[in-house]
Amino acid sequence: MKKIKTLKLRFTRAFTLTELALVLGVLGVVLGSVWVAAGSVMKGSNLKLAADNAWIVLDNMHQLFSSRSSMPGYTGANVDRTASMVSSGVFPRSIINQTTNLPRNSWSGGFWIDTGSTSSTFRMYMDRVPSGDCIKFIASALNANGLSSVYTSTGWIAINNITPLNFTCPATCPQSAAGGTGVACIGMEFSLWYAPM
């Protein structure tokens, strides 16, 4: 009689629910840390982009008015000149909203230029800026050529009386209703003339 061979099946062990939960937990921790790191990189890039654009606007304003003793048509402080500065090419094209033809800052807030406290100054504003970024931005701007005063929660303060530790950024800018929780306004007044960097 012939012997019948029996086939022995080898069973492979599958993941248990506990092992699956452990793998998903580790994956969640890894993805969470990547998410946090990416968020901080994006926040830093917004701040750098806003500063770069502000310095381009500052340089363009100084070039535009370098041969003038005052801003043409000056009638007092806080007169919005943004539209005419867009037409003059002061703002980089990359930040101009194609629908409104007005500039936006890196945090999707407004970015505008007003007349300053005298006919030889102008004010640059950005709203809807995260509060922490506002302080960092102003701290980096304290050495900017031509900067004469900074808009704070207590009003305009001359640059020689300010340090990053003795002021807070206001929640809203003049002529802006875009305040809210955790956002602030950056406001700076510059002279039309300055010694080039």
- The domain locations on the chain are 51-191
61 or 15: whose pLDDT is higher? 61
CATH numeric code, 51-191: 3.30.1690.10
**What are the backbone dihedrals phi and psi of residue 190, each rounded to the nearest 5 degrees, phi first?**
-125, 155
Separation between Cα atoms, residue 152 and residue 163, nearest integer Å: 11
179 or 166: whose pLDDT is higher? 166
The segment with the largest mean pLDDT, out of 91-95, 123-127, 163-167, 178-182, is 91-95
pTM above 0.75, yes or no: no
Look up residue 149 and give its amino acid. Answer: S
At 86 the pLDDT is: 92
Report DSSP state, residue 164: T
At 90 the pLDDT is: 92
**Residue 92 — very low, low, confident or very high, per pLDDT cuts 50/70/90?**
very high
Which residue from 20, 94, 29 is spatially nearest to 57, judged by alpha carbons? Answer: 94
Q: Decide if pLDDT at 36 tops 80.
A: no
At 28 the pLDDT is: 83
Q: Which value, to the nearest 10 degrees, does the dihedral of the CA atoms of residues 136, 65, 173, 153 take? A: 60
**Residue 195 — very low, low, confident or very high, per pLDDT cuts 50/70/90?**
very low
**Residue 39 — very low, low, confident or very high, per pLDDT cuts 50/70/90?**
low
Over range 49-55, report the average pLDDT: 87
Please state the separation of Cα 87 from the chain's center in Å.
23
Helix runs in 66-191, H state only = 82-87, 131-141
At 189 the pLDDT is: 84
Q: What is the 3-state secondary structure (H, E, C) of 34-79?
A: HHHHHHHHHHHHHHHHHHHHHHHHHHHHHHHHCCCCCCCCCCCCCC
Please check whether residue 57 is in contact with residue 91, taking contact to mean a CB–CB distance below 8 angstroms.
yes
